[in-house]
Each structure stands twice: as structure tokens, then as C-alpha cells.
Chain A
Amino acid sequence: MEEDTSSPIRRVSSRTRKVASKMAAALASSDNRAQAALARLEALENDNAGMEMQETNEDDEASLDDDDQVYMQKKMSKSMKRKTRQAKALENARKAPRTFIELLHEANLESLPPHVPSYLKAAVGPPSSTSRRHFCTVCGSAANYTCIRCGIRFCSCRCQNIHNDTRCLKFVA
């Protein structure tokens, strides 16, 4: 009731809901907070396509406009035999898009000799200073307090109250 949760322009997001319930479960236990933090970092690389991926894969070709359609057909008839629907479906399943992390795992870069530069070795590595600044999740100011229930940071009594009233254990990301 305070603040914004009843805002008329709040939009519905399937992705938000799904992630949020996972988050809430994770945040409730301090053991899982580290995992929740990782999930949150992971979410920073998301697109808002998530949920629909499966259902839409089959109509890939439908997305092309006429120009391209002609182009693609020319190309296909030239370079490969026309495939049956079934064969194509099979191939699609085999070639279903995988995440970069999956491809990276398959590449098994850990097995490369130490002098070979690789994606893994190029990571900048941890900061030399371990100090982490904390910002209030409610207002963004420097935050010195931690919620004992969910571990999220806040800066003042005022923000703590807002947090307790409307946001505790409700992670939006």
C-alpha cells in the first residue's frame, strides 16, 4: 500500500514471476543466499524471450519476409536436398540452441596446456581489494544495515520499513 506495489502501470511479466518465486525460496535460507546472488548475476544476461522459446522454434521460417523467403529457397534448393519435415524436426532438435556456458563446457578448455590463451584465462580475475560497497536496495544510498530475514541491504529506518512492508523476500530480477 505504501510506495508502488499497487501502481496502475505495473505490468505483468511471466519471467519475473517465475524467477521471483525461485528467488524467494532461495533467499529464505541464508545458506542459499550465495546461490541467489549467482542466479541474479545470471539474470543480468537474460533477454525477455525466455518463456516463449520452445513454442516458437518451429515457426522460425515464418519470421522472414517475402524477399528473404525467396532468397532462402533459392539457397536451399541449390546447396542442399530438400528435407522432409520429419528429418528437419530431428535436425532442429539436435541443433537446438544451447547457451554459451554449455558450449564452453563442451569445449573443455581446462585441458589446454597452461601457455595457451583461452576464454577462461582471459577472465580478469578477482579485484585486489575485497571491499564491496553496499547500496540500499530501496533508495540506492550507501547502506550499512542488513535485513536479518533476507540479507538484503538498506540504509535507514525509513527504508527498512519500506523493505519490511513491501519487499522483504520479494526479489524482483
Chain B
Amino acid sequence: MQTNVVVLDNGGGLIKAGLGGERDPSTIIPNCLYRPLSSKKWLHPSPTSSDDPTDLTSAAVRRPIDRGYLINPDLQRDIWAHLFSSLLHITPAQSSLLLTEPLFAIPSIQRATDELVFEDFNFSALYVADSPSLVHLYEASRRPTGIVSKAQCSVVVDCGFSFTHAAPVFQNFTINYAAKRIDLGGKALTNFLKELVSYRSVNVMDETFLMDDVKEKLCFVSLDVPRDLRIAKKYGKDNLFRCTYVLPDGVEHTKGFVKDPAEAQRYLTLTDGDFPAQVGTNKDLDQLQVTEKREDRKRVDLTKNEFELSNERFLVPEMIFHPADLGMNQAGLAECIVRAVNSCHPHLHPVLYESIILTGGSTLFPRFAERIERELRPLVPDCYRVNITSQEDPILGVWRGGSLLASSPDFEAMCVTKAEYEELGSARCRRRFFH
């Protein structure tokens, strides 16, 4: 009997799932149940690739994962049952499972996960992997002659849904004593954007799906915050950041959209050191803004269900770089990387700085890599090179690494079988995975 390997990157935001050996996961679904306003039941979301017309306005959301970790195994069981039977069409008892788990999962969570895998679903074998080592594996295999592959080490910066990690990897193992975490990810950014828009224009506190879309389509990373704040204050065409997002009306369209995509792209014309047009004194600017605001009020028709964004577009991703601005007592991403590197042996420092890999959905903000390089350079000794690689697809990178590992000849030997689990229990099996 041929056993296949199910590769499951069980993210807090998205589940990426498919069979080992394939290039891409066969399905990607949000890791949640949702309940639309019109429904009494909790529903399974459709795969992200489908064009589902369900009206998600004010839908409630339940997630099995909190702050990156599995806290509700019952809910996860529902979601996996649907995934395995209706989407992947696999039989767990005849499959092995490669499952991702965030670094530093506590034993009670690991136990709950093992119970799900072996007792609820009866998988024949399990391998638990952490994302940094899978991302490293994938990048090393893509460029066999590159530095990641030659030096056999890298720093994987994973900015995902629940949190952000900078984790050094050496010879395919994550150096977990050196990994550093910022408690901010895509979920917090979406919630922050909700806060800003709700505070300034229209209440969107219940619009998770909508505001995810706004964030993905309109947010970007600023390369010069004070300059961009000044530009965001300007009026008319000189404000390169102003754009309008149209809310769904439930009649003509059930999804929101960017009103004028060309307008939304204007910020890209802003290059380094640019400062378009002359700026008046602050006083002039304030006066101009007052008059302009009045015109705005006439122009923006609130019954049209739309809102404007300007500085929110870059102030939201800004939090990853400066959590202190939110009142969080945590260092930003550049310092996070430096601390992770400094926790490794000094011999590794130069190669680590030269092989920084960005992964995770929140690294998709335009100019993310440029900004991190810019902040990192002054913090790194001059004699070291800083080299940052953005993954080709930062949402799929972990899964692709998992698929690669699952198809390697050693994979079977790395797994814990159901029989071993039954004999040894969770804690002893877990030691096998070097966590």
C-alpha cells in the first residue's frame, strides 16, 4: 500500500495543504469558521482561489489559533475534517502528515495537537516541522550555488498572521535559543487599520474580511515617514497617498473594491529623496487643509458607502518597524534581526547577515525589504554585507519547503508512527523532532 504524505502548513490565518512532492499546495483556506449576518450556522470558508459571492459583511469569525498557537482543538478538528474529506479527498489512516507548528509551542498544546493527529484522525505517522527550517530548505534548494546553500545557514524573518519571528537556521535546524519574536503580525495590523478607519471615518470594527482586503490592496511601507506624513497632509493631486475604497452595498456588489486603482498606485512615483512640489510653512499647510476639508465634505458623498485613506496606508505596516509607537514595549524588526544574529556564535554573524530571507504574508507590503535593509544597515558592522532575499511567494514558502522535505528519502525515518505514539506518548515522541 502506497502511503502519501499530506503537507499541512497550519497557519493562524491560512491553511496551506496538499501532497508532498508537488510544487504548490492544492488548497488554501482561511483557518476559521465564519457566520454571515444572514446565517445562523457557522460555515466553512471557501478556498481563497474560488470566487465565492458570499456576502461577508459583518461576518463573525472563530479561529482555532490564538497568538499563533492552537487553543481550540475541537474547532481545528471541524476544519481539518472538512479539509481532508471535502477538499483534499485523502484518508488520514493511509497517510503520513507533515505538520507545521510555531516555535516554542508549550507541551499542553503539543499534546493536544498529537491527539488530534493520531487519536481523532488516525494518521499513520507524523512529522512536526517549524517554518524557518522549511523556508531555509526551500531557498537552499532553489539556489544550490547561493550563499544560503553554501554557508548552510540563514536568518528566516517570518512575518505572518499572528506574530513575527527572526530565526537563525544552521544546517537545516532552527537555532531556537537565538530566535526572537515580535508580538505583531497581519492580524494585529488589520485590527489596527480597523481602529484607524473606524475612528476617523466609518465604523468597520466588525469587517475583518473587508479590512484584510483593504490592507492587502492599499497598504505599503514608507521609506521616509516624516516626509510621507507631510505629503499625506497635502491636498488634491499633490497628496500621492489619498485614495478611496468603496464598501460593498449588498446589492450590486458583495465585495469592496479600490475605487480608482491608478490613483492608488500614485505613491509609486515617489522615489528616494523626492519631495514633490514646494511645501509651505506649517501654518500655510494647516490653512490649506481647512479649506480643502470643506470642499471634501461636499465632494465625498457618504451615502455612497466609501472611505478615504491617506497616511493610514503606511502608518499601519509601520508598526512592525516601530511597535513602540503603539505603546508596545518591544523592539522593531531591524533590532529583532540584530538580536537574533547576536545570539549566535560570532563566526556565523557575517554569513547570517548575508542570507536574510523574508517570508510570511505580511512581507508582501510593497517596499518591505527596502525598508528593512535601510534600517538594518546602520545597525550592522560596516565590514559585513547585508543581503535580503524576498521569497518568490512568501505565503507558500513554508509549504513548498515542507513538500520538499516530505519527498526526501529520509522523511519516513524522521516521522513518529502511530504505534510509537501509542507506546511512548506525546512528550517522548516530540523529542524526536529536536524542539
Contacts and interface: CB of A to CB of B under 8 A. Distances in A.
Given A11-B203, A109-B106, A142-B229, A173 B195 contact: yes
Interface in A46-83: 46-49, 52-53, 56, 59-60, 62-65, 67-68, 71-72, 75, 79
A122 B158 CA distance: 14
Nearest to B306: A9
Contacts of A173: 195, 198-199, 205
B66 A140 contact: no
B62 A123 contact: no
A124 B330 CA distance: 6
B312 interface: yes
Interface stretch (B271-279, B318-326, B386-394): B318-326
A109 B207 CA distance: 36
Contact of A64 (B78, B188, B208, B323): B78
A56 B204 CA distance: 23
A122 B180 contact: yes
A172 B12 CA distance: 25
B82 A68 contact: yes
A44 B211 CA distance: 13
B244 interface: no
Interface string B179-199: 111111001100110011011
B177 interface: yes
B324 A127 contact: yes
B66 A45 contact: yes
Contact of A72 (B66, B81, B191): B81
B63 interface: yes
Contacts of A101: 67
Contact of B60 (A37, A49, A117): A49
Interface string A17-46: 000000000000000000001001101111
B122 interface: yes
B201 A68 contact: no
B21 to A, nearest CB: 25
A124 B229 contact: no
Interface in B22-69: 32-33, 35, 41-44, 58, 60-63, 66-69
Given A52-B60, A127-B330, A172 B188 contact: no
Most chain-B CB neighbours within 10 Å: which of A44, A67, A125, A135?
A: A44
A117 B179 contact: yes
A118 interface: yes
Contacts of B188: 44-45
A107 interface: yes
Interface in A105-138: 106-107, 109, 115, 117-119, 121-128, 130-135, 137-138
* Range of interface residues on A (Cβ < 8 Å): 35 or more
Contact of A132 (B61, B310, B325): B325
Nearest to A47: B61
B176 interface: yes
B263 to A, nearest CB: 19
B328 to A, nearest CB: 6
B290 interface: yes
Contacts of A75: 81, 120-122
A133 B322 contact: yes
Contacts of B176: 117, 122
Nearest to A17: B205
Contact of B109 (A16, A44, A103): A103
Contacts of B67: 45, 100-101
A126 B206 contact: no
Contact of A138 (B60, B68, B71, B200): B200
A150 to B, nearest CB: 13
A138 B204 CA distance: 16
A17 to B, nearest CB: 10
Contacts of A172: 195, 198-199, 203, 205
13 contacts: A13-B203, A37-B327, A49-B63, A65-B44, A72-B81, A95-B74, A100-B69, A107-B108, A123-B183, A127-B332, A133-B325, A135-B315, A173-B198
Given A107-B107, A134-B325, 18 more contacts: A9-B302, A47-B63, A48-B58, A59-B41, A63-B44, A67-B82, A68-B78, A75-B121, A95-B74, A100-B67, A103-B71, A122-B103, A124-B181, A124-B182, A132-B324, A133-B322, A140-B229, A173-B199
Interface of B: 32-33, 35, 41-44, 58, 60-63, 66-69, 71-75, 78, 81-82, 84-86, 103-104, 106-109, 119-122, 165, 176-177, 179-184, 187-188, 191-192, 195-196, 198-208, 225-226, 229, 232-233, 247, 286, 289-290, 302-303, 305, 310-312, 315, 322-332, 335-336, 339
Interface of A: 4, 7-11, 13, 15-16, 37, 40-41, 43-49, 52-53, 56, 59-60, 62-65, 67-68, 71-72, 75, 79, 95, 97-101, 103-104, 106-107, 109, 115, 117-119, 121-128, 130-135, 137-142, 156, 158, 167, 172-173
10 closest residue pairs by CB, A with B: A63-B42, A140-B311, A107-B106, A97-B72, A119-B104, A44-B188, A127-B331, A100-B66, A117-B177, A100-B67
